[in-house]
A and B are shown apart, each in its own frame.
Chain A
Amino acid sequence: MTLLLAAINWHSVTFLFFALVACAFAVAVVATSNVVRMAFYLTLSLGATSGLFFLAGAPFVGAMQLMIYVGGTLVLLIFGVMLTAQARFISMKTSGGEWVMAAVLGASLLGLLVATGFSIESWRKPRADLAAVTLADGQTSTPIGMALTGVRVDKLSEPSAARRHGMSGYLFPFVIISMHLLVVLIGAGYMARTKRVGSRMALERAAPATPRIRRRSFAVAGGLISGIVVNLALAIACFAWWLRPPAAAASGNSLLGQIQILLEPASGWLWPVLGGLFAANVLLLVIVYLWQSWAVIGLVAIPLAQAAAIANAGLGNVPAVAFAVLALAPVVLLIVLMCSGPRPTMWEQMD
């Protein structure tokens, strides 16, 4: 038992404790949707981070972390939470789809960062002559103060001439950050002051309800049917073009062969062009769905471009016009849907 205790590296144990507390409460900040609890978890996470700073031999930074972050910034945040703490803002849920997206992105980012952190050989090895480091190496507050006034006492014994180059110190950033803090102080005080008349009027006004999109069933159904027909035609034509060489010998026995004969006069460049335009169409549809109404212009332009491509490729004008009509139908219905909704669109605002 005593042997087991002697083998324990207390530096590592303390690090594990602080790191686990910091990381666990950081994840808890993300996981909870209650803003008051978020503030509390953030306090614990930042406090544990200051413990990590102390452990890395930076006691001055750790103390500043406790005083400025935990003592100042977080108190500010908690005041903000209290000033805006109405029942409907205390707990704001995030939708499930966003959670899935965030989990995927976060996991990949975390994997990348951790893999990078462990990829360099010299980062993975602990310092060999750890006994040579004394406690005096951790007392950095005097050198930090000297560096802020422009004298780097820690670099006087630097043997490398290239590193001695950075001995000019941090006087200029220090002055700039002082002015920055003064400006921020005045600006924040100016912005956050109470404007009595305006704020009372605004508070009496009810918060705007989220716009509800009125559904017009014929527009939705018509758009869906037309879109399905157009996409089916595109898919069948592309599939037939993809299978072209073997079935050209079959010469019209099957339905697929007949479609291929129908498509025979078309030039080879048509299908990549149609495919690219179709992808652009889908992208624009997503943009329109997120209420960037201007993208409807693109949705009108793309079927016209597709029809022009079909007409130029030697398939004849009739299929081109039919395709354009079918492809434009959902766009027209979409415009009808947008203009009839309660939300003011671009066109209504122009009226």
Chain B
Amino acid sequence: MNPFTEPITVSHYLAAGAVLFVAGAICMATKRNALGVLMGIELVLNGANLNFVAFGSKFLRTDTLGLDGELIALFVIVLAAAEAAVALAIALNFYNNHTTIDVDQADELKG
């Protein structure tokens, strides 16, 4: 099992995507900075994208998702950009009103 001579399979891509996903999920859960939470979301979406592209790739399997994988990955990228813009606007608004960016302090709506 020399990693330099073994051909790459879908499973390798899935493992890399899993690492990105878990890192993003932990980032979302543990960071107290609102921007850190946003970065965690980007990592999670990238891990999912990697899986989509791997399942659609003709270089890895005979029986693939085809172009659908790439198209869904494109849609995810565009939606992630939109989500980041809105979330950043919310974060800046929160910072303007509360002079803090700590998500633990954003509890005004708490009952």
Contacts and interface: CB of A to CB of B under 8 A. Distances in A.
Is this pair of chains taken from one and the same complex?
yes
Contacts of A118: 11, 14-15
Interface of A: 7-9, 11-13, 15-16, 19, 22-23, 26-27, 29-30, 35, 38-39, 42, 45-46, 49, 52-53, 55-58, 60-61, 64-65, 68-69, 72-73, 76-77, 79-81, 83-84, 89, 92, 94, 98-99, 102-103, 105-106, 109-110, 113-114, 116-118, 120, 122-130, 133, 137-138, 140, 143-144, 147-148, 152, 154-155, 166, 170, 173, 177, 180-181, 184-185, 187-189, 191-192, 194-195, 198-199, 202-203, 205-208
A170 B68 CA distance: 9
Nearest to B45: A69
A202 B71 CA distance: 45
Interface string B1-12: 001111111111
A92 B33 contact: yes
Contacts, number: 284
Interface in B25-72: 25-27, 29-33, 35-36, 38-40, 42-43, 46, 49-50, 53-54, 56-63, 66-71
A344 B68 CA distance: 54
B61 to A, nearest CB: 6
Contact of A73 (B42, B68, B89): B42
Contacts of A148: 71
Nearest to B27: A30
Given A30-B30, A58-B56, 5 more contacts: A102-B26, A110-B18, A116-B14, A117-B14, A117-B17
10 tightest Cβ-Cβ pairs between the two chains A and B: A117-B14, A113-B18, A126-B7, A26-B23, A192-B89, A191-B89, A56-B57, A188-B89, A184-B82, A23-B19
25 contacts: A9-B6, A13-B4, A29-B39, A30-B23, A35-B35, A45-B20, A46-B46, A56-B56, A58-B56, A61-B70, A69-B42, A80-B38, A81-B35, A94-B31, A98-B30, A99-B30, A103-B26, A117-B14, A118-B15, A126-B8, A133-B59, A137-B58, A137-B59, A148-B71, A202-B97
Given A15-B12, A123-B10, A84 B59 contact: no
A194 B96 CA distance: 8
Given A12-B7, A130-B7, A29 B96 contact: no
A94 B27 CA distance: 11
Decide if the interface of chain B is mainly helix, strand, loop or mixed. Answer: helix
A26 B20 contact: yes
Nearest to B56: A58
Nearest to B52: A61
B76 to A, nearest CB: 10
Given A12-B5, A13-B4, A173-B75, A39 B39 contact: yes
B111 to A, nearest CB: 8
B99 A205 contact: yes
A57 B71 contact: no
* Range, interface on chain B: 35 or more
A56 B22 contact: no
A351 B75 CA distance: 52
Contacts of B27: 29-30
B54 A56 contact: yes
A52 B52 CA distance: 12
B53 A61 contact: yes
Given A42-B43, A68-B78, A8 B5 contact: yes
Given A84-B91, A187-B86, A42 B39 contact: yes
B72 to A, nearest CB: 9
Nearest to A94: B30
A49 B4 contact: no
A160 to B, nearest CB: 11
